[in-house]
Amino acid sequence: MDPDAGIAGQAEQGDERGERPAGPGERIAVALIPTAASGLRRLQERTSLSKTDIANRAITSYDFLDEYLKAGYELIVRDTKTGETQLVRFL
């Protein structure tokens, strides 16, 4: 598995630019738990994105992270003010 190949494929499709795919796309219905529903509302307020755009970004972000984590990479976040880093683990 080559995570870099996934990144290149996303760039070619224009995912980072928010372009929508040609054609009808796949539709799903999802029942959100209360925590996820609250998070969705907060994201809509902060970003002004639609529920569809947020769901699409969430899925593509999770796909990206999962690909790297399964390939043996770690996710580390860094505080730009202090330089402090933390390892992020998904359970």
Averaged confidence pLDDT in the chain: 84
SS3 assignment, position 43:
helix
Percent of the chain with pLDDT over 70: 75
Token pair of 2, please? 């080559």
Q: What is the pLDDT of residues 17-46, one digit of tens each?
A: 455 666 678 999 999 999 999 999 999 999
SS3 assignment, position 84:
coil
d(CA 34, CA 51): 15
Which amino acid makes up residue 50? S
Strand partners, 75: 88
Please state the separation of Cα 6 from the chain's center in Å: 14
Strand partners, 86: 77
